Amino acid sequence: MSLPPLEISDVITPRPVRRSDAVARLQASGQVRAARLVERMPATDDVLDEAHVVALMRRVHAELQRLGEELQLPQRVSEDLDRLRQAMGNPLRRVVDLGCGSGYVLRWLSHDPSLAGVDLVGVDHDPGLMEWAARLGRADGCRARFVVGDALAPGVAVAEPEATIVISSGVLHHIPAADLPAFFAAHATGGVAAFAHYDPEPGWLTNLGSWVFHRARMREAVSRHDGNLSMRRAHPADVLLDAVAEGAPGYAAGCVGGQSVLRVLRPVTGTKGA
């Protein structure tokens, strides 16, 4: 029996990665085409070429930024942050974006007047992306900081938790359902004021819309493969709400279920003690 499908980006991160290991993991999941894509990546002594993978991941994330632009993701995050901060007992001082990739959401929010003076910190476990996000940020005068770290243990990035909102986009589907309660429990243990994590509601409409978008707008084979798969790996709203109830029971949670072309990435939100 095949194992659950994997995104190519997950098997080539964190590096260094042995190409044969990455290929074997994809083959064990029955992903023959994905395994062939990795097999064709350059390697020295079976270790994937760092420069090649860094450049590839930057191209993939540039295409992901395009998706964020189409879906007006930062604008939606900004509106939700407004709502969440109204429900907080303390003034908002910091927004932490877990698995921030190119940093597009924070780079946009950095120019949002409603967040003037709010500290913006992006966290991702891919150093090649964090170096690039910081460079893009400097180029457009953005004040966000980007640090290498684990989304499941953001630690120091969440200083002043009672004044912090934690966000993410496109990250929840990287976390197996069994580990979701621990993900939300880390927010509760850290004591963050609120959270908003954006991912698609899975289903036929999401799959169809994703396929059309990826065929029409994405050029990288890895983008197309991972993008389509991520829609299928996403967790339904009731699974997310159950995970919040189990891991972070002190938070008032919300997540609108049902697929919608107008709301492809919908957040699961939580507010502490509300």
Ligand X SMILES: C[S@@+](CC[C@H](N)C(=O)[O-])C[C@H]1O[C@@H](n2cnc3c(N)ncnc32)[C@H](O)[C@@H]1O
Binding site for ligand X (CB under 6 A): 13, 64, 68, 99-101, 104, 124-126, 129, 150-152, 169-171, 174
Q: How far is CA 197 from CA 56, 86, 167, 209, in A?
A: 26, 18, 5, 21
Query: Which of residues 72 and 90 has its CB atom nearest to ligand X in the complex?
Result: 72
Helix (H, G, I), strand (E, B) or coil at 27: helix
Task: Work out the angle at residue 258's Cα, subtended by the Cα atoms of residues 255 and 263, and round it to the nearest 5 degrees.
Answer: 75
Phi, psi for residue 147 in degrees, rounded to 5:
-130, 150
Query: Which of residues 70 and 162 has its CB atom nearest to ligand X in the complex?
Result: 70
Q: Which DSSP category does 178 fall into?
A: G
Q: Per this entry, what is the length of the chain?
A: 274
Query: Which of residues 89 and 140 has its CB atom nearest to ligand X in the complex?
Result: 140
CB–CB of 194/270 below 8 Å? yes
CA 35 to chain centre: 23
Which of 84, 123, 83, 90 is CA-nearest to residue 106?
123
Q: How far apart are the first and last CA of the chain?
A: 45
Query: Which of residues 101 and 267 has its CB atom nearest to ligand X in the complex?
Result: 101
Q: How far is CA 115 from CA 58, 67, 77, 92, in A?
A: 27, 23, 12, 9
User: Computed from CA positions of residues 247, 253, 259, 264, in that sequence, does the dihedral angle turn out positive or negative?
Assistant: negative
